[in-house]
Structure 1
Amino acid sequence: MNVATLLYGNDIEPQAPPDAGKPDVRLVWWIFVVFYGLMGLGVCMLGRITPPPRPDVGPEQMQAWFAQHATSMHIGFVLLLAITGGAAISNGLVGYHMLRMSSGSVLAYGYIGGMAVGAVPGFQMVILCYSLGVFRPERDPELVRFFYDLGMLSYNGSLGCFTAAYFCLAIAIFYDKNNIFPKWFAYVTVWQIVTEVIASQMWLFDSGAFAWNGIITFYIAVVVFCVWLGALIVFLQVIGAREPVDSAPIV
């Protein structure tokens, strides 16, 4: 059983070789993969944003946390700032394939717009806040706490823009008759919406399951996102290979 049959079922033509499809689409797919790989490195291993620090500590402990991880955070945030444009290219690839759906172009543009707007509170804000937190270690601890809280609440609690983007993607898949994405992926995308809505509770709690480091508001969301992203990466490779090289440009 090939990958396409496993993901889509039997209602699909035989799987195309991995190097099939349009060369420019394959190139952007590789940019997508590299971007998310480097983002994971910068966010998790270097930037210390994921898993998140504790919200229920005092200003001095927050300042000490920045000081403890200052070197790796500097490197991680420089990396993230250098590759941030990869988010636009990655979102554009998803939007490109959404335009191939029979559900129309409005939802594709809605997805791209929602993800573009969400990149500010959900990506750039935490980089700027935490970069400021480690840039001058002699800052007033209360100001450091402001950066600490603002960065993490923006990163994990900015739900509206991404919810709108996931909604557009899910609806487009449900209504699509061209079988670009399998229908079950729409349900995974709906769970992305659910976790974003649940994340709003972190604005009300600074400890426990509903805090920004809680199992309900954060760790469940991480599991759902990893499943969604992993499936998306595979789908984009498969559907890119299935696209005829001589197909008309999408406008």
Structure 2
Amino acid sequence: MTEVATPAPVDGTHGTETRDPARPPAAGKRDVWLVFWIVPAFYAAFGVIFFALARVMPPPRPDITQSQMVDFFSQHATTIQIGFCALILIVGGAGIANGIVVFHMKRMTSGSVMAYAYMGGMAVGALPGCLLVACLFLVATFRPDRDPEQLALLYDLGLLSYVGSLGCFTAAYFAMAVAILYDRNEIFPKWLAYVSVWQIVTEVMAVAVFVSKAGAFAWNGSISFWMGTVIFGVWLSAVIMFLKKATQNQPVDEAPLP
């Protein structure tokens, strides 16, 4: 360790700080804070798009006729196009949100493997769980005079993909739970690991959307959709809250992560 002289403060006092010359100088946390504030902004916009514009939250019913599916696209064509075009522009915010979670997971004593597993699971899951429904619904509204059977196919495929994208997110939640439980730096509280496990439970229970057209296990059902949505809301709110706390508690002079 070497003694590195610091400039005299304005009050005339003097001091020194001890710094390991093998460690790069601190870069501050402005970039981390910038990324953090993008996360709640992205998810707020995501909620407006899916609830108010695209009308896929809550999902429209699966037990309807072809003509009713065609009517759905006809009635909501404008807002679907506005909402999902906006989503395509801002969907990179999901990568930023995953990035800051991975950043803090790599600060855990559990190591980087689970951080990379989380990143991979969430990245792959965004394709069927977010982008596919957007593209399919935009295709359906692009040519509203298509054969009703084709529109019905786009309707089913989009919503089954959106609600039924399970395995990728299950892997990500598993990786987060294991990382938190093995961590000794207390980056995130242990109870967040158990909420992540409940996320896995809701994903497993939603498998029935592929065979159920009505009831609790349909894609708009109380178990397959609503229970999972409530638990996801609790999990996401907790993650954002503890990302902020982890960023506040991160030492300013912490060396860059490998």
TM-score, length basis structure 2: 0.88
The offset of 1:162, in angstroms, is 0.3
Alignment-mate amino acid for residue 45 of structure 1: A
Q: Is the 8 A contact 1:55 1:149 kept in 2?
A: yes
Q: CA-to-partner distance for each residue in 1:29-63, whole Å, 9 max, x for gaps? A: 01111111111111111011100000001111001
Select the residue among 172, 175, 190 that pairs with 1:165.
172
Select the residue among 141, 144, 156 that pairs with 2:148.
141
- After TM superposition, where is structure 1 displaced by more than 6 Å over at least 4 residues in a row? none
Aligned positions of 1:105-120 closer than 5 A = 105-120=112-127
The offset of 1:146, in angstroms, is 0.6
Q: Report the equivalent of 2:11.
A: none
Aligned length: 231
Structure 2: state its 5+ residue gaps: 1-27
The offset of 1:22, in angstroms, is 1.0
Q: Is the 8 A contact 1:47 1:73 kept in 2?
A: yes
Q: CA-to-partner distance for each residue in 1:186-224, whole Å, 9 max, x for gaps? A: 011100000011110100101111100000100000100
Q: Report the equivalent of 2:6.
A: none
Q: Report the equivalent of 1:37.
A: 44
Determine if the alignment matches structure 1 residue 218 to structure 2 residue 231. no
Structure 1 Cα separation of the partners of residues 203 and 100 of structure 2: 22
**SS of residue paired to 2:203:** helix
Task: Give the aligned CA root-mean-square deviation in angstroms.
Answer: 0.8
Q: Report the equivalent of 1:12.
A: none
Larger radius of gyration: 2
Structure 2 Cα separation of the partners of residues 104 and 232 of structure 1: 19
Which has the larger helix fraction?
Answer: 1
Q: Report the equivalent of 1:73.
A: 80
Q: Report the equivalent of 2:211.
A: 204
Structure 2 Cα separation of the partners of residues 210 and 190 of structure 1: 20
Q: Report the equivalent of 2:55.
A: 48
Q: Is the 8 A contact 1:195 1:221 kept in 2?
A: yes
Determine if the alignment matches structure 1 residue 151 to structure 2 residue 158. yes
Structure 2 Cα separation of the partners of residues 133 and 232 of structure 1: 35
Structure 1 Cα separation of the partners of residues 81 and 47 of structure 2: 15
The answer to which structure, 1 or 2, has the higher relative contact order (CA under 8 A, 6+ apart) is: 1
**SS of residue paired to 1:33:** helix
Structure 1: state its 5+ residue gaps: 1-20
Q: What is the identity percentage for the equivalent residue pairs of Structure 1 and Structure 2?
A: 56
TM-score, length basis structure 1: 0.91
Structure 2 Cα separation of the partners of residues 54 and 75 of structure 1: 22
Alignment-mate amino acid for residue 231 of structure 2: V
**SS of residue paired to 2:137:** helix
Structure 1 Cα separation of the partners of residues 252 and 79 of structure 2: 44
